[in-house]
Amino acid sequence: MTDLAYLPATEALRLFRSRELSPVELMAAVIERAEAVEQQVNALSERAFDEALLQAKQAERAYRDGGSPRPLEGLPVATKDEQPIAGRPATDGSLAYTGSVAEVTHPVIERVLAAGGIVHARTTTPEFCCAGFTQSKLWGITRNPWNLDYSPGGSSGGSGAALASGTAMLATGSDIGGSIRLPAANTGTVGYKPPYGRVPAMPPFNLDHYCHDGPMARTVADCALLQNVIAGPHPHDVVSLRPAVRIPDRLGDVTGLRIAYAPNLGDWEIEPEVAANTRAVAEALREAGAIVEEAGVGLRRADVFEAVFIHFGAIFGPMVTRVAAEHGDKLTPYALAFAADAERAMERSGAFLAGLELEAAIYAPIGELLDRYDALICPTTGAPGLRAGEEYVDTRLTVNGVELDHYLEYSLTPVFNIASRCPVLNVPSGRASNGMPTGVQIVGRSYDDATVFQVGAAVERVRPWAFRPEAL
């Protein structure tokens, strides 16, 4: 049998049902793996291992007694620390909130628990989830299991690192500018940014159309499994969509689908290894039966990041600024820099309206392209990862020999927070010479969740990826 810590969730459920594997055995294997690697990786902000083993015994009885086990019955699920659990710490990765305890549970966590998932651990984030890497004064540096000198990305970096290091079977994330897709790309895992409103969130950020909660996993089928659990309307989220939409069980048929292959979304800097891996995914989809044609999108990176920081300047940035006014000495340099960048962008624009006008212009070529094609594929990032421990406040990031104005410009993800109604699935595209995985974004038409999973499953079938890093 495959190393239990890296067993696909769908396979674990099959083995549970056939009684070839016990939830207790699986949980013990995941805990043993965490105890072996966590000192190096540091992906878990909170552990509940004893409680998880007790819940695994309850799940074991559910399968033994021949009842109707729930969809995630007995599976170890790591949840992003940003998503609160009533009665548990609620720090948002910041020393400013040390001692805070959540009074409510996030809808995503409610659904994981109701489906029988066992939250054995919570995962690290950067402070306020405002960075594309994962480190904080509160939890320290989270490292990438594929290369410990690199970050797993952010802000759901702990979730990506936990999946890659075998310390979780499924994980939750959230995405306001790439925070699911960047860690998924950097850790060789699968991450899904659902279309806006598909998965319920909490106020006030549920009202921010850049914000998405979603699933992370090691396989496309596992990601679909978790997505089907957490999707659907919620009485406390006015933008949550009804009815719930289900990803089909049978995935991977792309015969005749028309797919646009964009080596670049415009003028992003793309390292040759990333470009080659993205091209290989396009070839894999042709092999799987899709009609794949190269297409240009023609966006200007400067316009995208101006729109993004105006948006942050209106909503997200002021929240950080408010905390900084009282606890500035406790905050990280990158959180303070984020708030300052967002404030400057809002000052330049003069109004949120200017950002919305930019966003409309940015979506236009994407919408036109998706009117002609069933899906679009493009790189997730322009370079294979960011260095662990670097905050990129005083240091500039160089990609493809070009120094970027802001390190986040290495990511192609924020485009699809602007185009927030488009579903986007990251799947691995290959590996770079530094050992780091690279990723490709599969972008669907607005609210067409199923197609991106069909495409992702086809890539996985024709071009399978490794689960277990050699570095650990």
Residues recognised as catalytic:
80, 155, 179
- What are the φ/ψ torsions at residue 24 (nearest 5 degrees)? -70, -45
Q: What is the C-alpha to C-alpha distance for residues 98 and 386, in angstroms, rounded to an integer?
A: 28
Beta bridge partners of 299: 266
The DSSP code for 97 is G
AA letter at 182:
L
Tokens at residue 270, please? 């793309």
Task: Give the helix/strand (H/E) hosting 311.
Answer: helix 301-314
Q: What Rg, from alpha-carbon coordinates, does the chain have?
A: 21
* Rounded (5°) CA angle 114-448-241: 45
Spell out where 176-217 has E strands.
Answer: 190-193, 212-217
DSSP-assigned letters across all residues of 43-70: -EEEE-HHHHHHHHHHHHHHHHTTS---
Residues 6+ positions from 454 with CB-CB distance below 8 Å: 251, 252, 253, 254, 257
